[in-house]
Structure 1
Amino acid sequence: MNEESSGGPPDEPTDKRLLRGARTRGLILRRAVDVASLDGLDGLSFGRLATDTGLSKAGVQTLFRTKETLQLAAIDHARDMFVAAVIAPARGEPRGVPRLRAIVEQWIAYAAAPLFAGGCFRAATMTEFDSHPGPIRDALLRDQRDWRTILANQFRHALAAGDIEDLDPELAAFQLDAVLLAANTALRLGDSDVVYQVQRTLDQLLRPGDRTATAEIRLSPGTP
């Protein structure tokens, strides 16, 4: 390919517009997840976000078009923030017990010094749409299932290593998730003692197992 046909250098003004658009979208979504964590996803509106961010209502609406699109984008943004705050920092720990403990430790920090203004985003928004089938409920359900799968996979790794007593990984993940959701509510009410109860629950689930009597646990390739 010769120089004439290469198209020349990138269009700098276009690049700058794209960068500004991405920054504006990020600013809106950061405010949107806080609003949704406090007042629910139905509390989101173009006008409110425009007022809160100092942008024009037309500018906000141009980026998201419909309220449902805005709500879905807020769910995805909250998911990305949660992964970065809770899941990603634990990935450096060995799979199984160490990673489970790291995940829960990060979750406690996430809820105790809230990443979102209203506390755990998932806890704040799930009940709002649990009886309303559609794309919003599907997105919230996806996130809940993915979170429990992450927990269940670590219980499986711990079982395979013989580090914990025999248990049902899916049930253990359900139990741990339920405790964390209850802890979020308690922390929002100012009950910091609940952190100790979370740690006790995790200790019970991670009781040491007998390595010589560990049942064979088959893990699918690539299980995180």
Structure 2
Amino acid sequence: MIDGRLARGERARTAALDAAVVLATESGLDGLSFNQLAERLGVSKSGLFAHWSTKEELQLAAADHAEARFTDVVVRPALRAPRGVRRLFALHEHRLADIASGALPGGCFFGTAQFAFAARTGPVHERLAVALEHWHVLLERLIAEAVELGELRPDTDAGQLSFELNALGTAAVYESRLLAAPLVYAHARTAALERLRGLSPVPNLLPEV
């Protein structure tokens, strides 16, 4: 009986966080509220307080959940590609596919949240900064692997290339919500391909631009 209650509680918490991540891309992480979340889920606000006692706790939990979701939806599928430049490009393509999927109305939880909290201080700002650092660490690791395999030039600046690939994905988030989305995604894909093919001694491993 106790285990059943715990399982139901965990399912309810997960469903609430799924909804919170979606809502945060619609109204912003700062706009995420217990009232809004309760209304979306059709539950009482008091039920949500059983999981989080403050708005900040909810925001931090949503950030954790969003990062876990990103790992499941973007990172793990990309890591099935062959090591090297193809895996690096797969990561970019899976990120673009997630932005384009409509699963998150705002395109990307972190794209919207990091803009909103960039000039602030406090635990939420710090949590979002950690998520961005994790993303760059992953990108730079895949870039280093591609260099080791001879699929990127030895003089490739991993930090610079990581910045550029992230910038292309970030631009795709907001431009696709304001301009013609298919063209935005095509530009983001082409720009990454051209950059990677230009740095690769074996550009034929990548699709044609």
Determine if contact 1:118/1:124 at 8 Å carries over to the other structure.
Answer: yes
Q: Which has the higher contact order (CA 8 A, sep 6+)?
A: 2
TM-score, normalisation: structure 2: 0.90
Q: Distance in 1 between matches of 2:186 and 2:66?
A: 26
Larger radius of gyration: 1
Cα root mean square deviation, aligned: 1.5
Structure-2 change in CA distance of 1:64 and 1:156 (3 Å): same
Name the counterpart of 2:59.
71
Post-superposition Cα deviations, 1:98-145, rounded to whole Å, max 9, x if no partner, equal: 111211121111011133121111111111111111110111001111
Determine if contact 1:114/1:120 at 8 Å carries over to the other structure.
Answer: no
Map 1:129-148; keep pairs closer than 5 Å: 129-148=117-136
Q: Which runs of 4+ in 1 moved over 3 A?
A: 208-211
Matched, 1:177 2:177: no
Count of residues paired in the alignment: 199
Determine if contact 1:186/1:192 at 8 Å carries over to the other structure.
Answer: no
Match of 2:175 among 172, 183, 186: 186
Unaligned runs of 5+ in 2: 203-209
Map 1:91-170; keep pairs closer than 5 Å: 91-165=79-153, 166-170=155-159
Matched, 1:83 2:71: yes
How much does 1:204 deviate? 2.8
Q: Distance in 1 between matches of 2:195 and 2:98?
A: 21
Unaligned runs of 5+ in 1: 1-12, 212-224
Name the counterpart of 1:201.
191
TM-score, normalisation: structure 1: 0.84
Match of 1:30 among 9, 15, 18: 18
Letter in 1 for 2:11: R
Q: Distance in 1 between matches of 2:7 and 2:164?
A: 43
